[in-house]
Structure formats: C-alpha cells, structure tokens
Amino acid sequence: MTRYVALIDGQPGAFGVVIPDCPGCAGMGDTIEEALDNAAEGLRDWMEAIEAQGGAAPVPRSMDEVRAEADADPDTGEVIYATVPLIRDLGRPVKANLSLDSGVLAAIDATARRLGVTRSAMVELLAKRGLPAFG
C-alpha cells in the first residue's frame, strides 16, 4: 500500500493535515485521528481527479526527505509528521475469510445493524477509518 507523508498542525477542535507530495490535498478535523481520516479520503479523491485528467500518481518521498524540506522552510511552524495511506475504492468486491473473536464479531454485527449496513460494509468502514491511524 502506498503511503504519503503528511504534516499535521493545529489544536484540539481544529487540526489540519497537508500532504506535500500532493499539492492541494488536505484534511481537517476536530481531532488528529479525524483529520487523518479525512486526509485519507481526500487523498483518494485527489488521486482520482489527477488520474482522470491524465496525470500520474506522484512518487511519495520518504519521511526524511519531507522533514528536511519542512525544516528548511522558515514558514513551517511546529508540525506532527504522519503517513496517510492511499486506499482506493476499486469497485471490485472480493471475498475474504476472516477469523475474529466472537465478542468482536458480535460488536461489529450490533453496530452494523444499528447503522443499517451489512457486516461486510461495517468491516470495510472500520478498516478505512483505522488504517490511517497505523501510519
């Protein structure tokens, strides 16, 4: 999975995320986790738009390369560094056999019922929200 380095700044209630390798790609949120989730969604949408216009996905730079550039820029304030995964919606469902603790599965099923979605849709939603946190 491709990951892009992200810079996070702000304070509780107003965090912002920018992805330097993808100009104009950003995310915001009340928490760092929410901002990273939104940045991952924004990265997917940004990439789809670039590719729809005939462009190519930029090659992600290393954390060290991005950090060196940010450190050299006097306008860069204090930031937190993270990575954001590029999670594409390919529209091709595939079957996966998973083994989960019965209590975890019961919680997934209860939440899926409450939200009116399938178990598969719930697991996909949890993965999309959780993957950015494991930068």
Per-residue pLDDT of the chain in tens (135 residues, 90 and over written 9): 899 999 999 999 999 999 999 999 999 999 998 999 999 999 999 999 999 999 999 999 999 999 998 877 777 778 899 999 998 888 888 898 989 999 999 999 999 999 999 999 999 888 887 777 675
Taking domain 3-134, whether its CATH number is 3.30.160.250 is answered by yes
pTM of the shown model: 0.78
Structure tokens at 38: 């939104």
**Which helix (H) or strand (E) covers residue 7, if one does?**
strand 3-11
**Which helix (H) or strand (E) covers residue 29, if one does?**
strand 26-29
What DSSP line would sit under 52-110, residue for residue?
A: HTT--PPPPPPHHHHHHHHHH-TT--S-EEEEEE-----S----------HHHHHHHHH
Where along the chain do its domains lie? 3-134
